[in-house]
Amino acid sequence: MSKLEALTGNAAVANAMRQINPDVVAAYPITPQTSTVQTFSEFVADGLVDTEFVTVESEHSAMSACVGASAAGARVMTATSANGLALMWEIVYIAASNRCPIVMSLVNRALSAPINIHCDHSDVMGMRDSGWIILMSENGQEAYDSMVQAVRIGEHPDVLLPVAVCQDGFITSHALERVELLEDEEVQDFIGTYAPQWSLLDLDNPKTYGPLDFYDYYYEHKRQQVEAMENAHGVIAEIADEFGKKFGRSYGYLEEYRMDDADVVVVAANSTAGTARTAVDDLRDEGLKVGLLKLRVFRPFPAKELAEALSSAEAIAVLDRSISFGSMDNSGPLFTELAAALALQGVNVPIADYVYGLGGRDIAPGEIERVYRETLEMAETGESRGVTYLGVRE
């Protein structure tokens, strides 16, 4: 029987890791992720897991150890944030290219400089083309549930890719919330036993990881990664459906809130979706037909599902917690990808981007209400707008 506890998002993730009981965890502390691996290291010290906990001198070494352990056939997990992820950069790509189903808790934080330890999405958006599956989490409950599902997703024989489960630094990672934990046996039964197909320790079938790979085969190996990511699209839905049927909490690529008759829609990810719900409810009380579309899966990007969900909207606003410098209008990555997806799917709807919350700056329901009101005006004019930097002192 599941039990309710008051947990921070980091503690919820650490408990998911305890229940998963991975073979190897290699990690290095970095704010605001630190308490995740600190809590998990206590589980190791107390003998609650059988995990080999590898203490390393840097995040680069942490991901290197994870790749080595995964190649040897282990179930592997790690956690990081911001500059720690950036230090992993080289090995993050290698993990995906070597098809290592590592699961990483990524607690989103601004990248330096200037030095900032608070939340934005510049770290995860920087790794968006690395070949990792990327899941977003509105709260600690979703982060917990997604960590459990991520093991099955990454290890699926048609996928074999690493998975990053994101949550917002300090906003959900350190906030105390109600989290429903499954029984340990339920988690173990759901994830099953990992049976690696291509272990380096299979001496009867020798193989090589990370060889020199010039123009003779490199292109084909990249194409295989594309196929794996395409397969992940269906696998994510299958595992989410199974999770929902067993445990009563359903997840998909997206989550719609008061969308049935919405004239305008805001698209948001992670904790801001929770704030946006309050804004939606307040504006609905005024008789305004507004809705929210929360993005849960960023990679693989659910272009068709987004286009279908947004096809009846009269105008759309996107909330981006990062900037893609030098991109079209210096807008955010979510906006540029969504705009392209809508165009390719033949959905011609006015759209605008709002960059917000960089470096952990708060976004209040009133600011999101402003976004909705301006989007309603955009629906009347029928004209898209460029990027607005919400809440900045210009």
Window from 205-214, 318-327, 380-389 with minimum mean pLDDT? 205-214
* The pLDDT of residue 367: 98
Indicate whether 260 pLDDT > 90.
yes
* The pLDDT of residue 210: 83
* The pLDDT of residue 209: 84
Angle between helices 59-71 and 82-97 (to 10 degrees): 30
As a whole number, the mean pLDDT across the chain is 97
* The pLDDT of residue 2: 85
d(CA 150, CA 236): 9
Domain boundaries, the chain: 3-247, 254-389
State residue 19 phi and psi, 5-degree precision. -70, -35
Question: Residue 208: pLDDT band by 50, 70, 90 thresholds?
Answer: confident
226-237 confidence digits (pLDDT tens): 999 999 999 999
* The pLDDT of residue 236: 98
Question: What is the average per-residue pLDDT within 138-165?
Answer: 98
The CATH superfamily label for domain 3-247 reads Thiamin diphosphate (ThDP)-binding fold, Pyr/PP domains (3.40.50.970)
Report the CATH architecture of 254-389. 3-Layer(aba) Sandwich (3.40)
Compute, in degrees rounded to 10, the torsion defined by CA atoms 325, 328, 333, 339: 180
64-117 confidence digits (pLDDT tens): 999 999 999 999 999 999 999 999 999 999 999 999 999 999 999 999 999 999
SS (H, E, C) the chain: CCEEEEECHHHHHHHHHHHHCCCEEEECCCCCCHHHHHHHHHHHHCCCCCCEEEECCCHHHHHHHHHHHHHCCCCEEEEECHHHHHHHHHHHHHHHHCCCCCEEEEEECCCCCCCCCCCCCHHHHHCCCCCCEEECCCCHHHHHHHHHHHHHHHHCCCCCCCEEEEEECCCCCCCCEEEEECCHHHHHHHHCCCCCCCCCCCCCCCCCCCCCCCCCCHHHHHHHHHHHHHHHHHHHHHHHHHHHHHHCCCCCCEEEECCCCCCEEEEEECCHHHHHHHHHHHHHHCCCCEEEEEECEEECCCHHHHHHHHCCCCEEEEEECCCCCCCHHHCCHHHHHHHHHHHHCCCCCCEEEEECCHHHCCCCHHHHHHHHHHHHHHHHHCCCCCEEECCCCC
d(CA 107, CA 95): 19
d(CA 15, CA 275): 26
Token digits of residue 21? 């009981």
d(CA 141, CA 177): 8
- 3-247 and 254-389 agree in CATH topology: yes
21-47 confidence digits (pLDDT tens): 999 999 999 999 999 999 999 999 999
Percentage of the chain surpassing pLDDT 70?
100
Q: 113: cis peptide before it, omega within 30°?
A: yes
